Structure formats: C-alpha cells, structure tokens
A and B are shown apart, each in its own frame.
Chain A
Amino acid sequence: EAEVAQSPRYKITEKSQAVAFWCDPISGHATLYWYRQILGQGPELLVQFQDESVVDDSQLPKDRFSAERLKGVDSTLKIQPAELGDSAMYLCASSLGTDGYTFGSGTRLTVV
C-alpha cells in the first residue's frame, strides 16, 4: 500500500532555533497538505499545495513558518524561529481531490 513519507519522526529543538520537516506524497497525488495537531485537538490545516502552487495558506503563521513544493512533488515545512507553542504533531497528507486522502506518520516536534 502506497504511503506518505515524512521525516524526521521526532524532533527536539530549542526555542529560537530553526527546524524543517520533509514530506514525500503518494506518487501521482497532485494535492499536498500540511496539518498541525496540538495534543488533544483535531488537525488544523496550515498550507495546501496543488502541484507546486499554494492553494490555501490562510492559517500559516507567515512570520515564522514557510512551506515550499518546488517541483510539485515533495515538500518542506520550515519554522524559524521555533517557539514553545509550536510543540505539536506536524502531519503531511496527499490526495487526488478528496479521493485517496492519506496522512503520513507525522513529525512530533518538541520545543524546549
């Protein structure tokens, strides 16, 4: 079964440092999403790509977060500088429209 690959699985960083997460979607999935899930809450969309273009980044804190999908395949989400409140699970997902919507295993970020 095809999977969405994410790395790293776990990341501990000090506040004010930079951190980056990587996602490789299922082959052929044009739409890629980054969600943030704070412990005890539902996932919240940060950014959505259609191929290499950003479709929705209305909930992305653009002063410190950036995301790119340069060739329309894999994607990187960056936080600089990290803050204590950024501690969460960062989930990547990909889909063909709403079909085949699949989440990766996530990156659990702890900011100390």
Chain B
Amino acid sequence: GENVEQHPSTLSVQEGDSAVIKCTYSDSASNYFPWYKQELGKRPQLIIDIRSNVGEKKDQRIAVTLNKTAKHFSLHITETQPEDSAVYFCAASPYTDKLIFGTGTRLQVFP
C-alpha cells in the first residue's frame, strides 16, 4: 500500500525566512497531494493541494511542487510569520479518495 515519508520532523526558522517541508510517496498511482496545517488541539486545515497533472501550484506565500518521476512533493512557505507556527502534514491519495498522511513537521517561527 501507499507509504508517505515526511521530513524534517521539526523545523525552526526566523520570521521572514523561508521554510521547506519535503514528502516522498511510494505508490505511483497516487494522483492527489494535499497539505494540511494543524494547530494544537484543532482539526487539520487544508492549506494547498496539487494534482498529478500539475508540477507546481502557488497561493500567496505558499507553494507546492510535485515531481512525479521521483515521487516527491514539497511545501514552500516564504516570508514566514509567527502565525505560521503549527504542525504541517502532507498526504497522498492512491485510490478510492482516502488520504495517507505523513508523520508531520512541527514548524516554529521565531520573531
């Protein structure tokens, strides 16, 4: 079955710097790759997603890139702000629309 690996597990950056989180997946049939932000005690919130027919997608300070050949995708956050501090999860959808999640990255943005 699908397996998603996520790195790093923790990431600390200075406010204004960029942050990059990387994920790899194993099932070449996966065709949908969302990223979720989860604050302590709250539900995962979708922040950006990408489908396998697209290589890159951007939404203001957030971008996601997908390399289908290498089976990896990345989240890029530019001009980080303290409110970006949270746990970020990547996920892949191999079939039947279920999501297989990565292990999460705790991002801390220091003022």
A interface residues, Cβ below 8 angstroms from B: 31, 33, 40-45, 48, 55-56, 91, 95, 97-98, 101-106, 108
**Bound Cα distance A102, B44 (Å):** 9
> For chain A, what secondary structure do more than half of its interface residues adopt (helix, strand, loop), or is it mixed?
strand
Residues of B in contact, count (CB < 8 Å): 22
For residue B75, give the distance in angstroms from its CB to the closest CB of chain A: 14
Set A91, A97, A102, A104: member contacting B97, Cβ < 8 A: A97
Task: Give every chain A residue within 8 A of B104 (Cβ-Cβ).
Answer: 40-42
Binding site for A on B (CB under 8 A): 6, 32, 34, 41-46, 49, 89, 91, 93, 96-104
How far, in angstroms, from A45 to B95 measured CA to CA in the complex? 13
Of B6, B42, B99, which is within 8 A of A101 by CB? B99
Report the separation of the CA atoms of residues A80 and B41 in the bound assembly, to the nearest whole angstrom: 25
Closest 7 CB pairs of A and B: A42-B101, A103-B43, A98-B32, A98-B97, A42-B89, A45-B98, A105-B43
